Amino acid sequence: MSLTRVPLLVLHSLLAIALAFPVLSLANLAGGALADLTGFPDAGEGRLVWDLGWVFIAGVLAAWTVARLAPRAPRLHAAVFFVLMLVISVVAVARLGGDWPRWFSTGILVTLPLQVWLGAWLGLRGRKRAQREP
């Protein structure tokens, strides 16, 4: 690999990780909008379960984005994304404090490894399929 390609690979890697965050936000917004359309109440345990489910789906989609767009080493990119999301999630849960039920805050943290693993697995599966097709 030539030295001129290295900056492009770094930029591509940063872009793959950076694009995961708008995907995460848009998926969460879509979940909230869908809840409003279906008539979910704005508060209560049911809405929190719904929101936690959409946090999970959004995390899977974001990890899939990272794995699909990574120029090389998609697992390493997913691991970096996991670390970033873990830091963000821990800070968010710490700031939430006692405002939310403990099960919700725990669910945010505990489901994160599964979100990233599942998203990366789906992204890698799609990459292998794309490489096999002529």
Say how many C-beta atoms besides its own lie within 10 A of residue 105's C-beta: 19
Residue 15, amino acid: L
Structural domain of 116 = 5-132
- Assess contact for 66 and 120: CB atoms under 8 A: yes
- Assess contact for 122 and 64: CB atoms under 8 A: yes
Residue 26, amino acid: L
Residue 81, amino acid: F
The pTM assigned to this predicted structure is 0.88
| pLDDT of the residue at 1 | 59
**Spatial distance between the Cα atoms of 13 and 36, rounded to a whole number of angstroms:** 36
Say how many C-beta atoms besides its own lie within 10 A of residue 24's C-beta: 23
Query: What is the number of domains present in the chain?
Result: 1
**Spatial distance between the Cα atoms of 42 and 101, rounded to a whole number of angstroms:** 16
Instruction: For residue 66, give the nearest of 17, 114, 27, 26 by alpha carbon.
Output: 17
Per-residue pLDDT of the chain (134 residues; tens, 9 = 90+): 577 788 888 898 999 999 999 999 999 999 989 988 888 777 788 889 999 999 999 999 999 999 999 988 999 999 999 999 999 999 999 998 778 899 999 999 999 999 999 999 999 986 666 665 55
